Structure 1
Amino acid sequence: MAAMRNELVFRLSRRRSSVPRARALLHALLGDWGVGEEAADTAELVLSELVTNALCVRAPKDRQVGVRIVRAEADGLLRLEVSDAGTGTPEIRSPAADETGGRGLLLVETLSHRWGVRRREGGIGKTVWAEVKAPGLAPRPGAGTEVAAVAVRAGRQVRVRGAWRTVRDVRAEPCASGGLVVTFALDTGPALCLSAAEPLTVRDGADAASPTD
């Protein structure tokens, strides 16, 4: 399993116990992201249906099911992607009242903001994705966004030890061990030195009047 601040990617074995495992991983992640109970319940139900459908398709038993969960703060959306090695394209069914199955995608369409299917890039099978509205993901005014240190420019503000500091100058230099080291001259306090890929929370200087906590 590989995790990032705004993304979680993991694989599941082709067994029924993978459905509750996927839900548990999503539940823990959404708790860390501060997603409300109603949106979390919806997302967990949608993911359960997507994983269940992926486990039901015809595919070699050694082929795992891939799951990718992404939060898009700017849009207030959670994106849930489930990939399998099966052929064909899933379609929404209208099962009879006495049928016990066949309602998975109907439920996904009802609960999701939007959903779709795409062929897997560089592999066999497909990816079924769904986006669920999660208003709590939207960033607060002045909260900033996270970018790599090398992408920060002079004039922006960076979050350093719980306070906002304005970047006066930026200098990138090769590191003896390889890569780049970025040095920031700030309006107050000592200079800040980080590796080029290290994340920083930044905002425009115009947001200085916004709440900082």
Structure 2
Amino acid sequence: MTTLNEVAFRLSRRPRSAPRARAVLHAVLGDWGAGQDIAETAVLVLSELVTNALCVRVPSDRQVGIRIAHTTTDGLLRLEVSDAGEGCPEIQEPGEYDTQGRGLQIVDALTYRWGVSPRAGGIGKTVWAELKAPELTPPPRTTEVAAVTVRAGQSVRVWGQWRTVQSVETERYATGGLAVVLRLDDGPLLRVPAAEPLAVRMLP
């Protein structure tokens, strides 16, 4: 029987999105029981893919889509990064002193395979990479959602641990943006932007 576990989320086209993507992946793989080697490799690969996507010349309001998936049948960890740009990225041959252009060389060296596909249901493309990770044992019903959709009773991963949400409220920042305030079963209140991605365990 095939078991598919996946997390999907979107990030804005800002420099801070790359470290956010790395943090989410690190948390997800920790929850899935990944060893240090596969986790470090996957984080590096995703970082390169996201960095490339952020450099694509498209309107600034176009978000970058990220999907993390693992199937038990083939034991492959799949990382997907989607953007609205055209064209097909290729491995470059930078000069000895060039500081850019090595991203896909790193991806090619570290992964089982990688490629480019048309973006499903939208404009642009998806660059994907797969790593062999047969030892992963992801728990069921874990996903990534915007903070504004979190509900009381769900468990969220914060500060490296799972916490149960006791209550959810919304408020406005002084700048006018919407914030979500989560009261957890332990620790201080968690206040995050409404669109902030959070790893959650869904209600049964």
Q: How far off is 1:14 after superposition?
A: 0.3
Deviation >2 Å, runs of 4+: none
Specify the SS of the correspondent of 1:94.
coil
Is 1:135 the counterpart of 2:97? The answer is no
Q: CA deviation at 1:135?
A: 2.9
Q: How many residues align?
A: 140
1:44 and 2:77 correspond: no
Q: Which amino acid aligns with 1:42?
A: T
Task: State the shift of 1:138 in Å.
Answer: 6.4
**Alignment check: 8 A CA contact 1:76 1:138 kept:** no
In structure 2, the residue matched to 1:6 is 5
SS of structure 1 residue aligned to 2:135: helix
**TM-score, normalised to structure 2's length?**
0.65
Separation of aligned partners in 1, 2:121 and 2:10: 17
Q: Deviations 1:7-38 (Å, cap 9, x if unpaired)?
A: 10000110110000000000000011001100
Distance across 2 between alignment mates of 1:31 and 1:113: 21
Contact 1:75 1:138 in 2 (8 A): no
| Aligned partners of 1:54 and 1:65 also within 8 Å | yes
8 Å contact kept, 2:32–2:137: no
Residue 181 (structure 1) aligns with: none
Amino acid at match of 2:121: G
Q: Does 1:65 align with 2:69?
A: no
d(CA) in 2 for partners of 1:138, 1:18: 27
Offset at 1:40?
Answer: 0.4
Tell me if structure 2 keeps the 8 A contact 1:113–1:131.
yes
Whether contact under 8 Å (1:36, 1:134) holds in the other structure is: no
In the TM superposition, residue 72 of structure 1 has moved relative to its aligned partner by 1.4
- When Rg is computed on C-alpha atoms for both structures, the one with the higher figure is 1
* Higher relative contact order (Cα pairs below 8 Å, separated by 6+ residues): 2
Three-state SS of the structure 2 residue aligned to 1:6 is: strand
Q: Distance in 2 between matches of 1:120 and 1:96?
A: 31
SS across alignment from 1:136: coil
The residue type equivalent to 1:68 in the other structure is R
Identity %: 66
- The answer on whether the counterparts of 1:74 and 1:138 sit within 8 Å (CA) in structure 2 is no
Deviations 1:171-192 (A, max 9, x none): xxxxxxxxxxxxxxxxxxxxxx
Residue 22 (structure 2) pairs with residue 23 (structure 1): yes
CA separation of 1:36/1:104 partners in 2, compared to 1, >3 Å: closer, same or farther?
A: same
Question: Which string of whole-angstrom CA distances, capped at 9 and with x for unpartnered residues, describes residues 38-77 of structure 1?
Answer: 0000000000000000000111100000000001122221
Retained in 1: the 8 A contact 2:7–2:67?
Answer: yes
- Pairwise CA distance, 1:137: 1.8
In the superposition, the TM-score normalised over structure 1's length comes to 0.62
Deviation of 1:146 after TM superposition, in Å, equals: 7.0
Shift, 1:136, TM fit: 1.4
Q: Secondary structure at the match of 1:135?
A: coil
Q: Distance in 2 between matches of 1:71 and 1:113?
A: 14
Stretches of structure 2 lacking an aligned partner (at least 5 in a row)? 142-202
Take 1:45 and 1:116, find their aligned partners in 2: how far apart are those partners? 17
Say what the alpha-carbon RMSD is for the aligned residues. 2.1
d(CA) in 1 for partners of 2:60 and 2:29? 30
What's 1:172 paired with?
A: none
1:53 equivalent in structure 2: 52
